[in-house]
Amino acid sequence: MMHRYCFEALDRSLRDVLRSPTGICSSKPFGGLVVVLGGDFRQILPVVPNGSRHDIVHASISSSKLWNQCKVLKLTKNMRLQNCTSGSEAEDTKNFAEWILNVGDGIVGDTFDDGEAEVKLSDDILIQNAANLFII
**pTM score, two decimals?**
0.63
**φ, ψ for residue 110 (rounded to 5)?**
-95, 120
Residues 113, 116: Cα–Cα separation, whole Å: 7
User: 35-86 pLDDT, tens per residue?
Assistant: 998 877 767 788 899 999 899 989 988 899 999 998 888 877 777 777 777 7
pLDDT, residue 11, reads 93
Cβ pair 103, 116 in contact under 8 A: no
Helix (H, G, I), strand (E, B) or coil at 110: strand
